[in-house]
Each structure stands twice: as C-alpha cells, then as structure tokens.
Amino acid sequence: MKAMTRSSLLALLLPLVSYAATMPPPIEESQKEPVRYVGDRVPDKAYFDGRLPHAVGTHHYQVLRANRTHPEEAVTIPGWTYSHQAYLAYWNGRFFLQYLSDELAEHTPPSRCMLTSSVNGKDWEPPVVVFPTYSLPEIRHGDYLLPAGTPAVMHQRMAFYVAPNGKLLVSGFYSYCPTPRHSPNAGQGLGRVVREIKKDGSFGPIYFIRYNRHNGYNETNTNFPFYQESEDTDFLEACEALLADKLISLQWWEEDRAEDGFYVIDPGDVENAAYFSADIVTSAGAGKALSYFTRPDGIVVGLWKNQWGALSPDRGETWTKITNNTTLLTTGAKTWGQQTDDGRFAIVHNQSPTFSNRFPMTVMSSDDGHTFDDLLILQAEVPPKRYQGLHKTPGSQYFRGIVEGNGNPPGDHLWVVYSMNKEDIWISRTAVPLRGVESSPVNQDFESADCTLDLEFWNIHSPRWAPSTITLDPETGNRVLEIKDEEPYDYARVERVFPASKKVKVSFLVKACAIGRGHALDVEVQSQTADRPMRLRIDESVIGFDHRRVKFDPLPFSVGNWHKIELVLDCEAGEYRVSSNGGSEQVIAFQESPEYLERLVFRTGPYRGWIPPQYVEEGMWRPSGVYTEDAPGADVKAPKTVFWIDDVSIQPLKP
C-alpha cells in the first residue's frame, strides 16, 4: 500500500472541517481569476494605514529588534541588521519561527538562518543559528570569480514541515550572489538543506535534501551529506514524505528551477510575466513565493507574488493556467492566504494603491475562498528604518502564517509573522472572526487579565523596548495596563475600538510612574477612517490640548498620582468636554469633522500616520545603493517613560 502523504491526509480532512462554508464558483469559472477582491475600500495613498478600519483585536509583538552593537541573539558582535523572510509553525505546544539573517544587507554575504521559539507567541527565546554561514567552493559566474571560502547567501521560500510521522523538519537554501546587484533565487545555488528540530529543542545534523544538480552541485562538492546517508529511519521517512508532497515542495521551485521532472509545472513560464534572472535584482517575475490554501470544495488556491494565481484540483499534482488576480494591488512582496479558525478565509498582503509601497498591512476575508471583501488594517505603523543596507524597503512585509498541516495554536486567532523594514521581526495575532466594528460598550478594569494576550479585543503595538504589559499596582493591589517606552525610534500604542458613536463618554485612570525628558502620553479618540478631531498630551506637569491650532490652558498633572480623565465627545456639536479628577470642564472645538467616533488610542509618541508627499503618488523611492546612514543612538535605550492605565470606560450616548 502506498504511504499516505500529509497532503492526502489534508485532502480528506479539510472538506470535513469546512462543510458549513459557502461554496465557491466551480473551477472552470474561477480559474480565470482565482481570487477576487470585490469590496469598495481602497487605501488612501497619503496615510500609512490607508485610512482603513483597524481589525479589532490585533496584537503586534516584536520578536527581534536588530541592534548593531548590542545584539539580542548574542551570536556575533557586531550584530547583524538585515532580518527578513520569517516563517512560522506550531508544534509540540510551541511556536517556532525561522528568519533569514544577513550581516548588513540583502543578497550580501555572510548569511545565515536563525530560529526562535515561544510558548505563547508573545514572549520569545533568544534566537539561535539553525543554518550557519557556509563557505563556498570557487565559483565562476559569467565574468565574476568568487574565490573559495566566500560565504554563501541564503534564501528563504520555505522553512517548516510537520511530517505525517510527527517529525518537525526545518529547511533553508544556500546560494550565492557575485554582487548585491545579483539575485540568489534564479536556479544558480547549491541546494536545499534540512535538519530535524527535536522535542527537547535540539537540532539534528544538517543534510542536503535536494541539490541543484543542473548547476553542478551534488554529494561530491558540498559541505553537508545527502539526507539518504542518515541512519535515522524516522528522519528519512519524514524527508521522503516532504519530497513526495508536490504542493509544499513547489515553494522550492523559485530557487531550484530544475527541469528534471521533480516539479509538476514551471510557475515561472507565464505569458506576459516580467523578466527575471540571476544577473538582476527585481521583485518582479512569476513563480515567486508560493502561498496556498484549500477552498471548501477541496480546490487548492495558489498565490504567488505579483498578482499571479492558479488552482489545483488534486493538491498540487496538476494546476490550471497561472493568471492574474487583478484586484490584488501587490507590491512585489509576498501574499499570504489561509483558512481561519471560523471556517472562513483570509488574505494578508500589502494592498498598495501605488503598487510599490510595502504598507499598509491589510487583511481581506471570504466565505468561499474566491470572493474577498471587508478590507481591514492589521498593522498601521511604519517606524523609521534604523540601519543602512541595500534593498531595505520600508514597511511591514513578507507575511507568512502557519501552512496547512504545520499546527494550529489554541484559540481562534490569525497568526502572521513579518519583517519590518527588513531589519526587525514581528508577529501579529488577530481575533477571529475578523471584523472592523465593535457592538458592545467598553468597561475594562484589567483584573481578569494575566497578560496582554488576555486583552482579546484591544489593538496593541508592542516593540521590545516599548512593551505593553499587565502589572500590579502595589498600593491598590489592582492589575493595571502598563505602557513603557525606552525605544528611541518607535513607540508603544494601545487602542480600543468601540461602537460607532456620534456622541460618546470616555473615562479612564492614568498614572505616570516615570516620564523621560521631552516624552509624553498622547490620547486620541478617532474614527475608524483616521479622523483625529482631538488630542490630549500628558507630560510631567500638564495635560495639554495642542492638536492643530487649539489654544486652551492646560490642566495640571503630576507624576506618581492617579488622575481620572473624563471626556464627552459630540460629533454633531463639533466639540468635546474634558475634565480631570472631577474639576471644571474645558469645552474645546474639534479640529476635524468625523461623522462617527470609533476608537480610543493611547500612544507614547506623536502621530506619524502621514506619508511624505513626495512618496504619495509614486511610492517610496528604492535607490539601489546605500543612501542612508545608521540612525544615531539606535543601539541604546532612551530615558524610561512608564504610564499606567486603569478603569477604561467607553459609553455611547444619544446625540
């Protein structure tokens, strides 16, 4: 009897868990455009968040903060500052995350792959090297000569595979670039390596699982043995299952490009696709960075970079013609698609009206896996890039969730990993079902929360040096939300979406435990389309109202004491009332005119949502050379700022 692969198991199981879903059009109809966005929301090019509604209950936690002189991974000094192409799995009760790490820049050796793990998806172990730097033999590439001992350039199009026998494999790809203006993913590399991650967290030996034999590499001229030399029968069985899985291994094609029959299609051979070769650097071209998910009817949807897509009725054995998903406004970065825990479907990518900017990070959802709607923001922030390096495009990008068969964490959430500015690694968790509206008033005292993961319907942006946590107030014994900031180039942000209201009463307790010189807490009540009619700025001595041209006397504030802030905001009157600790009210005019108010925002830095005007139409410039210096002071913490928040109440009122 033929061994059952993971894909054949999934083919049996997936229709069972999706029986209640809406059926998509038949493959004969939907193959013309495998996925379609039919919504009317289009991101505003002038704003980093596109002025789109924020998905309720989205948490962002920084897994790795790149640092030139004080690296967190403590593997090398100086630290490596190019971090990109993250992948995620959930196995044996833990999250596993692999990412590509280069010393300075993309396509520039030395290069390696790092791995970290977490029990809860928020708190991560220090990264360790899973695939080390590799010394190349002498290589001649056209007019270029790479001397023996030149470090390889690694590339990343697949990481994890949970085999049918329960083994967890992790993989990477060793290649080379004669210069940073060459690409490592055009078939010229050495081959794909694999090793086992064991239940105790240790690693098995490194093996090549597939050589780029057509490029001259094999058992005789590479530094690691072929997997078939392993004496571990369970490891061998896992490798054979991976090689037999034509769906998951199709992710390798871009780096391999062999014509030996291993791949059932050539996804790069697409009519009207942009030219690509090892001698150029471009995100264009077909067949790049496959992502896939299974529709309710069992049809697999394949999504590649640059709008390309196709359908497979037999889990990757055959495919329809690769065509354009014209309604996905892609940027040359990766597109991620998956089924969510409620049986619906999500696509995460940069829906960019410029077709260039790798922001905003958006999600759209679907009942049938074909027609998508309800475009929402997952990540509204684009902090400044801190370190110089070639090809470091700004923004959140290269999204990857958990591939079918690679585990499913507890709870109903969409988990996605990504890089920010190609130097930091982040993970996001979004409550499922996906939605951009809230129906219930807010009464939050934090007593039932052990950590911020328990704040299911709050939105959180939590850098490693500006974390939001749940802590205990020793004087009252109450649990409170702590917002701390020591980050010189980013900030902490927490927000709570509430029912759309023309008039609303907002109150909360706030205490400053420490405020660094020049720092403050900004508090805003906004619409879900980024209207910002007001702002409170709380510093070491006053509560100010300095949004636009508002000129009102500030209210007193003191460090170390609790203050109760009360706001009544009225869209029809175009004003808000504010008081502190029950004192007299200030009545202040709105500076913008929202139809509704829908979210409360706490932020440890000034608003930065506007895109510089020179980038609005054409997108952010992408010079091919080094055009920035390292940001000064990026490696050291700023003076500490700590605010506590408690007893948040948001009550819609009748106009």
pLDDT at 266: 96
Same-domain status, 129 and 262: yes
Q: What is the mean pLDDT of residues 326-330?
A: 94
Alpha-carbon gap, residue 566 to 577, rounded angstroms: 8
Same-domain status, 31 and 87: yes
Alpha-carbon gap, residue 248 to 360, rounded angstroms: 28
**Domain boundary residue, one of 431, 454, 471:** 431
pLDDT at 355: 83
pLDDT at 18: 41
The band of 3, judged by pLDDT with boundaries at 50, 70 and 90, is very low
| The pLDDT of residue 8 is above 70 | no
Same-domain status, 337 and 317: yes
Alpha-carbon gap, residue 199 to 550, rounded angstroms: 59
Alpha-carbon gap, residue 246 to 202, rounded angstroms: 28
| The pLDDT of residue 315 is above 70 | yes
pLDDT at 324: 95
| CB contact at 8 A, 460 and 60 | yes
Same-domain status, 147 and 202: yes
In a domain, 436, yes or no: no
Q: What is the mean pLDDT of residues 7-12?
A: 54
| The pLDDT of residue 9 is above 90 | no
**Could you identify the residue written with the tokens 């001698």?**
279
| The pLDDT of residue 195 is above 80 | yes
Comparing 13-27, 310-324, 585-599, which segment has the lowest mean pLDDT?
13-27
Alpha-carbon gap, residue 6 to 4, rounded angstroms: 7
pTM of the model: 0.96
Task: Give the range of the structural domain holding residue 596, as residue numbers without chain letter.
Answer: 442-653
The band of 70, judged by pLDDT with boundaries at 50, 70 and 90, is confident
* Per-residue pLDDT tens digits for 44-67: 999 999 999 999 999 999 999 999
Helix (H) or strand (E) holding 64: strand 58-64
* Per-residue pLDDT tens digits for 489-536: 999 999 999 999 999 999 999 999 999 999 999 999 999 999 999 999
Alpha-carbon gap, residue 524 to 545, rounded angstroms: 10
Q: What is the DSSP string of 538-562?
A: E-SSEEE--STT---PPEE--TTSE
* Per-residue pLDDT tens digits for 608-644: 999 988 888 877 766 566 667 899 999 999 999 999 9
Alpha-carbon gap, residue 178 to 605, rounded angstroms: 43
Based on its alpha-carbon atoms, the radius of gyration of the chain, rounded to whole angstroms, reads 25
Same-domain status, 385 and 471: no
Same-domain status, 319 and 463: no
| The pLDDT of residue 24 is above 60 | yes
| The pLDDT of residue 549 is above 90 | no
| The pLDDT of residue 73 is above 70 | no
The band of 354, judged by pLDDT with boundaries at 50, 70 and 90, is confident
Mean pLDDT across the chain: 94
**Domain boundary residue, one of 411, 431, 451:** 431
What residues contact residue 627 under an 8 Å CB cut-off, 6+ apart? none
Same-domain status, 455 and 422: no
pLDDT at 149: 98
In a domain, 143, yes or no: yes
| The pLDDT of residue 11 is above 70 | no
276 three-state secondary structure: coil
| CB contact at 8 A, 594 and 618 | no
Nearest to 247 by CA among 69, 443, 6, 23: 6
Bridge partners, 160 (sequence order): 170
Q: Which amino acid is at 390?
A: L
Helix (H) or strand (E) holding 31: none
In a domain, 16, yes or no: yes
Q: What is the mean pLDDT of residues 562-587?
A: 96
| The pLDDT of residue 253 is above 50 | yes
Same-domain status, 344 and 481: no
Same-domain status, 389 and 479: no
pLDDT at 625: 62
In a domain, 1, yes or no: no
Nearest to 99 by CA among 152, 156, 177, 153: 156
Q: What is the DSSP string of 301-314?
A: EEE-STTEEEEETT
The band of 21, judged by pLDDT with boundaries at 50, 70 and 90, is low
pLDDT at 636: 95
Q: What is the mean pLDDT of residues 162-177?
A: 98
* Per-residue pLDDT tens digits for 230-247: 999 999 999 999 999 999
Q: What is the mean pLDDT of residues 69-89?
A: 86
CATH of the domain at 559: 2.60.120.200
CATH of the domain at 286: 2.120.10
Percent of the chain whose predicted confidence (pLDDT) is above 90: 87
| The pLDDT of residue 13 is above 70 | no
Q: What is the mean pLDDT of residues 338-353?
A: 96
In the chain, how many domains are there? Answer: 2
Same-domain status, 45 and 144: yes
pLDDT at 353: 86
- Which tops the pLDDT comparison, 43 or 625? 43
pLDDT at 402: 98
Structure tokens, 236: 């061998």
Same-domain status, 414 and 552: no
In a domain, 437, yes or no: no
Alpha-carbon gap, residue 71 to 64, rounded angstroms: 9
